[in-house]
Amino acid sequence: MSAVVNSATASTRVRHLATVTRELKKTGLYDFHVENGAKMVPFAGYSMPLSYGNVGAVASHDHVRESVGLFDVGHMVQSNFRGPTATAFLEWLTPSSLSALSPYSSTLSVLLNEKGGIIDDTVITKHAEDAYYVVTNAGRRDRDLAWFKGRVALWNTGEKAKQFGPVDHEVLEGWGLLALQGPEAAQYLQGLTSFDLHGLTFGKSAFMPIEGFNLHVARGGYTGEDGFEISIPPSETVKVAKLLSKQPVQLTGLGARDSLRLEAGMCLYGQDLDEDTTPVEAGLSWVIGKERRETGDFIGAESVIQHLKDGPPRRRVGLIVEGAPARQGAQIYTPSREFIGTVTSGIPSPTLGKNVAMGYVQSGWHKKGTEVEVDVRNKLRKAVLTSMPFVKTRYYRG
């Protein structure tokens, strides 16, 4: 399949998260993208770059796997939570063991509703016992911010806050967020900073000088490659983007971002996660701290702990599909034509040359190596369940 066709297909995939009933928002790099030949598309309420110039999604994907790419993820919501009870507050909102995190360490986590469903997935970085940096999804902005506002107000009227102090929530409006991703990302960034990046392993962060700017840099990302996510004040975003986009760095859009994240087994909220899915069903049980399972002192704990104890009714799985790619909504059947689940994400993998997909199937049919069939455009295609990530991750762990 040509890169041009792949870009068009990617455009179709990302548009489902667009907010078409109101004017699209713009990140601080909108003009920068246009100047660099970006094809802009609606995504999660924002106008975002799908691709740049005549570089197709597959070529961009391959460049990130082989060298280094730069992504604008400034549409994401960046927040600070501060206060003497910030740890206890965030441990109420999530099932993670944040009290066990060391300073400047991060963890993937989930915000849960009262039924244990996932309101959003999030990355939480602990700066100190009373200070956290939290990144949430753009497509869930209104839901998340309303949830935070309501929970903070409720928490601050409670006994812990009255005894030890309240929590304050600050949204970093207009701040930039850039993801520098790929096997050559560290070498490139090291040329711009005196900070020794060898000491910054996956899941760690630090404030560091980058050519005169003092920026928060977290080692990690959404592609499965080594990389960094860099938070930038509004007035400096364009300058830093220009600094980080020189050769061999290639500007990379949503088309490649989607295929990279799926190869890495990463979930996309709204497709692979929603408020009717618990973290146990989603294969995210590892974000639930051991002691949290015992105390159950987080929102939605009853349903989550029940799923941990008895097993969930369905489970997220990976599939290799023969013949044609299975897209979101494709139904999954047993070889005897019994319906058992649905595909939530699917692509032709540029790296593997195979059709990969992610979805949910009934428990009991989730074991690796299980053969199933997937309805792709009214034709049943053979598929086999496989472990994720589909492409081995290359995070830097020191």
- Known binding residues for substrate are 229
Task: Give 232's contacts (C-beta < 8 A, 6+ positions apart).
Answer: 175, 176, 177, 178, 213, 215, 240
Q: How far apart are CA 47 and CA 41, in angstroms?
A: 5
CA pseudo-torsion sign 289, 290, 295, 301: positive
- The CA-based angle 336-344-351, given to 5 degrees, is 100
| 198-210 burial: b if 16+ Cβ within 10 Å, else e | eebebbbbeebeb
* CA dihedral angle for residue 254, residue 256, residue 261, residue 267, rounded to 10 degrees: 40
Task: Give 310's contacts (C-beta < 8 A, 6+ positions apart).
Answer: none
3-state helix, strand, coil in the chain (%, to 5): 30, 30, 40
How many Cβ atoms from other residues are within 10 Å of residue 52's Cβ? Answer: 17
- Is 389 within 8 Å of 265 (Cβ atoms)? yes
CA pseudo-torsion sign 191, 193, 197, 199: positive
- The CA-based angle 175-177-181, given to 5 degrees, is 170
Exposed, middle or buried by CB within 10 Å (0-12, 13-18, 19+), for 21?
exposed
Q: How far apart are CA 217 and CA 229, in angstroms?
A: 6
Q: What is 114-137 written as a DSSP string?
A: TTS-EEEEEEEEEEETTEEEEEE-
* CA dihedral angle for residue 362, residue 326, residue 319, residue 96, rounded to 10 degrees: -70
Q: Are strands 77-82 and 131-136 parallel, antiparallel or unpaired?
A: antiparallel
Element (DSSP H or E) covering residue 33: helix 30-35
List, as residue ranges, the binding site: 229
Single-letter code of the amino acid located at 315: R
Chain centroid to Cα 189, Å, comes to 22
